[in-house]
């Protein structure tokens, strides 16, 4: 029981560390649905590990009704998991979430079909999953990585990476390992855009080819 309350205290501390809007302990305890969902899940998961099925699922459904966040009782959450706002977040049965993970509203840790066994992602430590991101399948998202808003991730992500786009594309983040909680990068806006980079490259290439054509046409006119 002492361990349970210590874990809850760490979950509350995570809110203060990652949300500047948090003003007081009472406010966080009473007004943060993401915290409520995590606390209720820890209770339902404990019962689920004891071999119960129906009661944990009922508790999970009640939590979903209250918070708008659906976490299957079988999912494993690490320490200091922070679900910010959280409406529409879904975490599947075999998902595993590491320590110091931040998940924003509308995100899904889901499967891709009716396969049995491990079918949901494993999220490493210090990972940020931005608004509306979908991580689908039984692969690993490495430590200290960031999934950009709206990204659809369908394959493994190495540590210290940023993923953007549909389907998700990996952009290496200078290979700098995040060493502590204070260095978690919560910025969801200043992300690389590989599609935009490709379009800019193509635009420059077309412009370069047009200039060469004009030069050749000019030479032909001089010959004539």
pLDDT tens-digit readout, 33-74: 999 999 999 999 999 999 999 999 999 999 999 999 999 999
CATH architecture of 2-192: 3 Solenoid (2.160)
pLDDT band at 206 (very low <50, low <70, confident <90, very high): confident
Q: So where are the chain's domains?
A: 2-192, 193-224
Mean pLDDT estimate for the chain: 86
Q: Which tops the pLDDT comparison, 184 or 147?
A: 147
Tens of pLDDT along 19-28?
A: 889 899 999 9
What are 114-157's pLDDT values in tens digits?
Answer: 777 899 999 999 999 999 999 999 999 999 899 999 999 999 99
Residue 181 confidence (pLDDT) above 50: no
Which H, E and C letters describe the chain, residue by residue? CHHHHHHHHHHHHHHHHHCCCCCCHHHHHHHCHHHHHHHHHHHHHHHHHCCCCHHHHHHHHHHHHHHCCEECCCCEECCCCEEECCCCCEECCCCEECCCCEEECCCEEECCCCCCCCCCCEECCCCEECCCCEEECCCEECCCCEECCCCEECCCECCCEEEECCCCEEEECCCCCCCCHHHCCCCCCCCCCHHHHHHHHHHHHHHHHHHHHHHHHHHHHHHC
The pTM is what?
A: 0.76
Contact predicate 130/104, CB 8 Å: yes
Please give the pLDDT value at position 175: 59
Please enumerate in sequence order all residues whose Cβ is within 8 A of that of 66, keeping only pairs 6 or more positions apart, or say none: 33, 36
Higher pLDDT, 119 or 179: 119
Question: What is the rounded average pLDDT of the residues 193-198?
Answer: 68
Tally of residues, the chain: 224
Cis bond before residue 167 (omega within 30° of 0): yes
């Amino acid at each position: 029981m002492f361990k349970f309350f210590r874990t809850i205290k760490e979950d509350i501390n995570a809110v203060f560390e990652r949300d500047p809007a948090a003003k007081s302990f009472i406010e966080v305890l009473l007004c943060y649905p993401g915290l409520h969902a995590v606390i209720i899940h820890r209770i339902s998961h404990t019962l689920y590990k004891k071999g119960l099925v129906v009661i944990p699922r009922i508790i999970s459904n009640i939590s979903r009704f209250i918070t708008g966040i659906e976490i299957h009782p079988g999912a494993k959450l690490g320490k200091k998991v922070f679900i910010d706002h959280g409406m529409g977040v879904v975490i599947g049965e075999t998902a595993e979430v590491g320590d110091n993970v931040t998940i924003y509203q509308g995100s899904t840790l889901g499967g891709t079909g009716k396969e049995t066994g491990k079918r949901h992602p494993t999220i490493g430590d210090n990972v940020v999953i931005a608004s509306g991101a979908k991580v689908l399948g039984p692969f690993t998202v490495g430590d200290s990585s960031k999934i950009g808003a709206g990204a659809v991730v369908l394959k493994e992500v190495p540590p210290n990476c940023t993923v953007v786009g549909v389907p998700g594309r990996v952009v290496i983040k200078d290979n700098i390992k995040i060493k502590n909680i204070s260095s978690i990068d919560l910025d969801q806006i200043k992300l690389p855009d590989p599609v935009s980079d490709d379009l800019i490259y193509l635009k420059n290439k077309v412009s370069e080819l047009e200039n060469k054509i004009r030069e050749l046409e000019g030479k032909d006119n001089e010959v004539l």
